[in-house]
Amino acid sequence: MFRRLLQNPVKIVGEYLKEGDLAIDLGCGPGYFSIDMAKLVGRSGKVFAVDLQKEMLEKTRQKAKDRNLEDRMVFHHCPQDRIGLSADIKADFILAFYMVHETPDPEKFLSEVKTLLKPQGKFLLVEPTFHVSKKQFLEMARNVEQLGFKSLGSPSKKGGRSLLLAAA
């Protein structure tokens, strides 16, 4: 597929995931990243695929089923203004790829993301250059630091404007 040449999921998230990890793919869409994430965390890991569109979750579930990965995945349907995962869930890695700009209140959304991250966990936020200007992204970067995230920089070759964050 053409997208894999430009945005290879393993190249983008592979360095942040290992066997046994708990990972969350926020705004998973049809599972483009979730499926590779499920392979990377292995049998003992877990991937929560989260989206507000039931059809997207269904596509992700079907792909997972076809690849025998369903048992290491959870498909979570959320409302638009809340992620709504249990507060007990603490992730080693969270991905929000091309979705934060679609949320109605990014600040509220990102505060909730922070509650889902383990103290040593990492959060990769990637936004599309065609929808989010450099100025808007810099503002987002300032906001996330104000919310208490620690910036680990902007990794290159992540397919858009990127920020790697840790729960400070």
Ligand X SMILES: C[S@@+](CC[C@H](N)C(=O)[O-])C[C@H]1O[C@@H](n2cnc3c(N)ncnc32)[C@H](O)[C@@H]1O
In the Cβ-directed half-sphere of 3, how many Cα atoms lie within 13 Å? 6
User: Site map for ligand X, 84-123, x if CB under 6 A?
Assistant: -------------xxx--xx--------------------
Looking only at residues 6 through 35 of this chain, which bind ligand X when binding is defined by CB under 6 A?
27-29, 32
Q: Is 78 in the site for ligand X (CB under 6 A)?
A: yes
Backbone φ and ψ of 126, nearest 5°: -125, 130
User: 83: helix, coil or strand?
Assistant: coil
**How many residues lie near ligand X (CB under 6 A)?**
16
Residue 147 found at the interface with ligand X (CB under 6 A): no
User: For residue 165, which of 119, 103, 100 has the smallest C-alpha distance?
Assistant: 119
Least CB distance from residue 109 to ligand X, whole Å?
6
HSE of 49, CA atoms in CB hemisphere, 13 A: 30
Contacts with ligand X by CB under 6 A lie at: 27-29, 32, 50-53, 56, 78, 80, 97-99, 102-103
